[in-house]
Amino acid sequence: MAAETDGNLNDGMLRKKSLRNEVYDLLHNRIVTGQIAPGEWLRQEELASQLGVSQTPVREALDLLVSNGLAERVPYRGVHVISLSHKEIVEAYAVRLALEVLIARLAAHNRTPAQLSSLQEMLAASEALTELDAMPRLRRLNKELHQQVALASGNALLVSLYEITSNKFPDWMLYETMFRRPEILRTTLDKEFHEHQALIEAIAQQKPEQAVQAAAHHIRELGDQLETFLGVSNALLEEAERQIAL
């Protein structure tokens, strides 16, 4: 793995502020741009040496990659970038679709003013993140937005189930496609923003059925991207939807 610099870093040197996030963004960027391949091992000591930092922020950044679903920690071996089969992707898609719909319905009933304000702030912040070098921050923000919707459901068990499922969903692979095909970036992110906007508006207005429709539409759009960009079988995706009756 080469130690090339990234555009958001000065001469390849990490800023002192929030080193964990700096290392995370750098590694995230290398993963979604294909510089680090699925299955490749991320060696803590090697990365610390390359980046000129201690192993502590590297270890914390690797923990973030694992918790965000981009990497997997193997006991006694270390951390490597995940590699998902189409079957695993379809399974994650089906479960996420079912959970997102339930979460949206409950959030429309149970959200608090503080939770709604947080969602609206996240949505506003995401609108400005449209450039390639903003993708790590946008992905993290979008994940936090969906987690906040789950929290707004008021169901702690559902929140835990959703976190497990979202960590297995290969949205980072879709971001990788945007890096390879920047001509689709603006259009894709604009659609994503308006889908999030429709969901949050329904939750704000406490309209459960409208929230369900917005959530289902958003995840089905991601399903279309799984087919178009990752080559996942449309028949498998449709069968998954049929079996959960959505």
Q: What is the CATH number of the domain that holds 28?
A: 1.10.10.10
Residue ending a domain, choose from 65, 81, 97: 81
- For residue 21, pLDDT over 70 is answered with yes
The answer, yes or no, to whether residue 98 has pLDDT greater than 60, is yes
191-200 per-residue burial string, b: 16 or more CB within 10 A, e: under 16:
ebbebbbbbb
Which pLDDT belongs to residue 112?
98
Answer whether residue 152 shows pLDDT above 80: yes
The string of pLDDT tens digits covering residues 177-199 is 877 888 888 889 999 999 999 99
31 lies in the same domain as 107: no
Reported confidence tier of residue 166, pLDDT bands at 50, 70, 90? confident
Same structural domain for residues 62 and 97? no
pLDDT at position 91 is: 94
Q: How confident is the model at residue 168 (pLDDT cuts 50, 70, 90)?
A: confident
pLDDT at 11: 39
- Shared domain for 43 and 162, answered yes or no, is no
Q: Which residue has the tokens 């939770």?
A: 115
Question: Residue 168 and residue 70: Cα distance in Å, rounded?
Answer: 8
Q: Which range of residues forms the domain containing residue 185?
A: 86-243
Same domain, 76 and 97: no
List of residues 6+ apart from 117 with CB closer than 8 A: none
The CA distance from 41 to 77, in Å, is 9
* Count: domains in the chain: 2
Confidence of residue 31 (pLDDT cuts 50, 70, 90): confident
Is the domain of 91 the same as that of 213? Answer: yes
- Are 98 and 67 part of one and the same domain? no
pLDDT at residue number 12: 44
Mean pLDDT on 155-166 = 91
Q: Would you state the pLDDT for residue 4?
A: 39
Arithmetic mean of pLDDT over the chain: 88
The percent of residues above 70 in pLDDT, for the chain, comes to 93
Residue pLDDT, tens place only, 68-84: 888 999 999 999 998 88
pLDDT over 60 (residue 45)? yes
Please report whether residue 8 resides in a domain: no
> Quick check: 127 and 27 in contact, CB under 8 A?
no
* pLDDT for position 15: 52
CATH number at residue 130: 1.20.120.530
What is the value of pTM for the model shown? 0.78
Per the model's pLDDT, the better-predicted residue between 238 and 133 turns out to be: 238
Name which residue leads in pLDDT, 213 or 34. Answer: 213
Q: How far apart are CA 203 and CA 200, in angstroms?
A: 5
